[in-house]
Amino acid sequence: MAGLTNEKGQSMFYDKVGGVVVTGNEDGAKNAAASVVFGLNYMGFTMPPEPVTYWTGEAGPGPSYIEEEGIKNEFTAGQVKTMVYNLMHMAGILTRKPISAEGNVKA
C-alpha cells in the first residue's frame, strides 16, 4: 500500500470513521452493507456500532426513497439518527486520541 499511508505508516484511512447508506427498491441491503462495512474496516476505517442505515422499499421497479414514503419511514429515520450520532461520537474520540502506531506489526 505504498503511498497510501499516513505519517505513522498506517493506512491513510486510520482515524477516519466509516458508515454505509443503502437505498433502492430491492432486497439485499444487509448483505450489501456487510460487504461494504468489511471493506471499509479492512482498509483502516473505524466502524462505530450500528454504522449502517438502509431503505429498500418494495421489490421490483418503483419509486425511490424520496419519491415514496421512505423519507417518512420511522425505522429508517431512527437508523439514520443512530448512525449519525455514533459516527460523530467515534470521530470525536479519534480526534482526541488517534490510533497509536505502537501496535502496528508490518510483515
Please determine, for residue 61, whether its predicted confidence score (pLDDT) is greater than 90: no
Please determine, for residue 60, whether its predicted confidence score (pLDDT) is greater than 70: no
Backbone angles phi, psi at 12, to 5 degrees: -65, -10
Predicted pLDDT at 107 = 46
pLDDT class of 59 with cuts at 50, 70, 90: low
Residue, of 10 and 106, whose pLDDT is higher: 10
Kindly state the average pLDDT of the residues 17-41.
89
Share of the chain above pLDDT 90, in %: 53
Kindly state the average pLDDT of the residues 57-75.
70
Is the pTM here over 0.85, yes or no?
no
Three-state secondary structure of the chain: CCCCECCCCCECCCCCECCEEEECCCCCHHHHHHHHHHHHHHHCCECCCCCEEEECCCCCCCCCCCCCHHHHCHHHHHHHHHHHHHHHHHHHHHHHCCCCCCCCCCC
Q: Any long-range contacts for 56-59 (C-beta under 8 Å, 24+ apart)?
A: 56/22, 56/23, 56/24, 56/25, 56/26, 56/27, 56/28, 56/29, 57/24, 57/25, 58/25, 59/25, 59/26, 59/27
Please determine, for residue 41, whether its predicted confidence score (pLDDT) is greater than 60: yes
Kindly state the average pLDDT of the residues 83-92.
98
Please determine, for residue 63, whether its predicted confidence score (pLDDT) is greater than 70: no
